[in-house]
Structure formats: C-alpha cells, structure tokens
Amino acid sequence: MDITHLIESFADFAKQKNIDRPTMIRILEDVFRNMIRKKYGVDDNFDIIINADKGDLEIYRIREIVDDDSEDIWDHDKISLTEAKKIEPDFEVGEEVSEQVGIEDFGRRAVTTARQTLMQKVKDLEKDILFQKYKDIVGEIMAGEVYQTLSREVLLTDGEGNEVAIPRTEQIPKDRYRKGENVRAIVHKVEMVNGNPKIVLSRTSPVFMERLFEQEVPEVYDGLITIKKIVREPGERAKVAVESYDDRIDPVGACVGMKGSRIHAIVRELQNENIDVINYTENLELYVQRALSPAKIVSVKIDKEKGRVSVYLKPDQVSLAIGKGGLNIKLASRLVGMEIDVFRELDEIHEEDVDLDEFSDEIESWVIDELKRIGLDSAKSVLSLNKEELVRRTDLEEETVENVLGVLKKEFE
C-alpha cells in the first residue's frame, strides 16, 4: 500500500465514521511528523501539506542559509551556503530554503511503520467513537442480536456489529437466550477495559422498567405522569409509585390501561414479573398502606428517628402483607425507604390468650410439642377443645390431658 492509497483509505474511513475534517488531518499529520522525528530527530522546521481527498502528501524542510564557516552550521534548522547553492545557485546567506522531502527518502521501513501507526490510530479512533456513542445513551433502551451465550454473560451485536454484553447479574433469572434472537435492555454502563470499550446492558435495572413504561404509557412519556420510584425483584415482583400532575388523570389507571392492556406488554417483556402500580403520596402513613397492598392495614405507627414503621393487621391479612418468601414486605420497605415490622392486631377473644411456651415450667416440653403438632399453640386454642377431642387428636394419655387443662384453666380464673 503506497502513501496515496493509505491516505485515501483513511479519508474514506473518516467519512464513514463522521469524523470531522480537522480531526482527520490532525491524525494524519501526527503520523507523518512521527516519521520525520525518527529520521531527523526534530520536526519543528518541517511543513506538512495533506490533501486527504486526493491522497496527496507534501513535506517541506525549512532551513536558514549560513556561511560555511558559521558556528551554527550544525543546527537542525541551518544549511551551509555551499549546500544551498546545490539546490538553487542564486541563494545567499540569511535566506530561507524550503526543500521538498520525498516520501522515498524515509525508506521502506519508515513508510511501513507509518502505515502500521495509522492503522493503530484508526482502531483507537473506532474504540473512542464507540465509547462516546454509548456513553451518551446510558439509561436508554437498545436492542441487540444474541450471537453467543456464555456462563457469565450473554454477548450481543448492535446494528453496526459492535459487541455488547448482558452479565449474569443483569439478566432476569427466567431469561433464556437463543442465538439470533433480538433482546431489549438498557445501556447500564460503559467503561474502558484494557483499552477496549466494554458496553454493559441490563434487564434487571429499575431504569429498564421505567423506560418500558415510557414506551407503553404516553402520559409517562409526555411527563403528565411521573414515576417517583421503582423497586424490583427481577422476574418475580415489582412496585411502582406514580404521581399525576393533572387532577383529571388517574395515574394508576393510565399505567395499567384498559383491562391491563398497557401493563401486560411490560409484564411479558419482563418474564411475567408481577407489577404493583400504586399512587404516590407525601402522607407516609397512607404511602405505607398502599405499599403493602393487597393487605388491608388496621393501623400504622411510624418512628422516623429509628427509620422503622410498625404495621398492625388482622391475623388473616398478615400473610398477604408479608407475601411469598417475604417479598411483598421487602419491596414495600424499599419503596417507602423505611424498615416495616408487621404485627397481628388481635380481637378481644385473642387479646387475653397466652402462648403455650409460657407454661413450660408446669407442662413438659414434649407435651407442648404434641399440642403444637395439631395446630394448638395458645392456651385458649387448647381450651376450645374438650378432653375427649384432645385425647382423640393427640397421642397424649387422658390423665396428661386433664393435667394440661387444669393448668391452663387456672391461668384464666
């Protein structure tokens, strides 16, 4: 590849990548100035003229003419009168000589090195362009095509063939990737690793869900409804707090859509993640009640100093508030930003009840365990059954049952 072809190829690449002309010329000039420095040691008395469109390159060495006996004759920017006259017979001392240097004067090795340097700069420029491109769209949704599934990450290619990755930690547990399929995710972060841009995508980030709401709910996209906060357990459950700036718009209804039409599209994208959309409010007590939906709360006590909320519910609502695997209360705590403690609100019948473990000094532990085995864990729950029923349902002797009933009855006399 000659210099003309080399410059033309670089100019074509620059146009494809939308590199501005000053940047393109600067890179070319840097490469050739490096070549000059290797041959002459300095480059400050050289002019480089590049016509990238035609692939032309002209290099001129500029020196001042000095007398043959001058002490400065060995300076890099000086030339003796005798040498100058070989270029042009009319030259005199004090004049400036501008001598064109042919590319062949640098030698084959120097030209090869220049080509390699330019190719490396092209690669570096491509990396920088890719890094800047994705850095500008962090937090935005993009689609990529799966081309390789690894144990720690899934690799995709974007529309220009660039590699992006979804690490295992940023994948929804239920996600299954097949080569060639299109996958949507947000650009989570962009970083340089060993000089190469690493583009990391995420499907577990709350921002991904927020962008999906913007795509499916016009009022969110237009700013009429604001998403105040999203908390997620990816692929399992999420809670989204929304607020409307227009009193005529019901934010929850708008986000869910007619018969769930809007939110169903988001749920499908997130592998059937259960999404609770709630109305945001500055009233913390009401916010807690909404966050623990679908459980119905009797009362709430807030301790802002300790950052804890005590919630009291009817016994049959406790499991709803806690949720499967404690997921509902965990997400509700994260949504309101305080630790939530759940307590049973006992009615009058249960208020005076006493846990069976309180009688461990009078009733042997194996007897208490046997009663618990059939679901009797309090004094009144045992007393609600007669002696015959207790004997029939447990492995206890009649005498033992009588003794237990006697102990428990004394407690309430």
Provide the CATH number for the domain formed by 3-132 in this structure: 3.30.1480
State whether CATH 1.10.3720.10 applies to domain 137-202: no
Domain ranges of the chain: 3-132, 137-202, 218-276, 281-345, 350-412
Report the SS3 class of residue 148: strand
Report the SS3 class of residue 377: coil
**Local confidence pLDDT in tens for the 413 residues of the chain:** 467 777 777 777 777 777 778 888 888 888 889 889 988 899 999 999 988 777 788 899 999 999 988 888 888 889 999 998 988 888 888 899 998 888 888 888 888 888 888 888 878 888 888 999 999 999 999 999 999 999 999 999 998 889 999 999 999 999 999 999 999 999 999 999 888 999 999 999 999 999 999 999 999 999 999 999 999 999 999 999 999 988 889 999 999 999 889 999 999 999 999 999 999 999 999 999 999 988 889 889 998 888 889 998 887 788 888 888 889 999 999 999 999 988 877 554 445 677 888 888 888 889 888 888 877 778 887 887 888 878 877 888 889 999 989 988 887 76
Alpha-helix runs per DSSP H in 352-397: 365-373, 379-383, 387-393
CATH fold group of domain 218-276? GMP Synthetase; Chain A, domain 3 (3.30.300)
Q: What is the pLDDT of residue 349?
A: 43
Cα–Cα dist 276/273, whole Å: 10
* Burial of 169 from C-beta contacts in 10 A (0-12 / 13-18 / 19+): exposed
Q: What is the pLDDT of residue 17?
A: 72
Buried b (16+ CB within 10 A) or exposed e, 213-229: bbebbebbeeebbebbb
Contact 302, 285 (CB under 8 A): yes
* Residues near 15 by beta carbon (within 8 Å), at least 6 away in sequence: none
Provide the CATH number for the domain formed by 281-345 in this structure: 3.30.300.20
Length of the chain as a residue count:
413
Cα–Cα dist 314/295, whole Å: 9
Q: What is the pLDDT of residue 111?
A: 80
- Residue 216 identity (one-letter amino acid): E
Q: Are 218-276 and 281-345 in the same CATH fold?
A: yes
Other C-beta atoms closer than 10 Å to the C-beta of 284 total: 16
The three-point CA angle 322-323-326 to 5° equals: 65
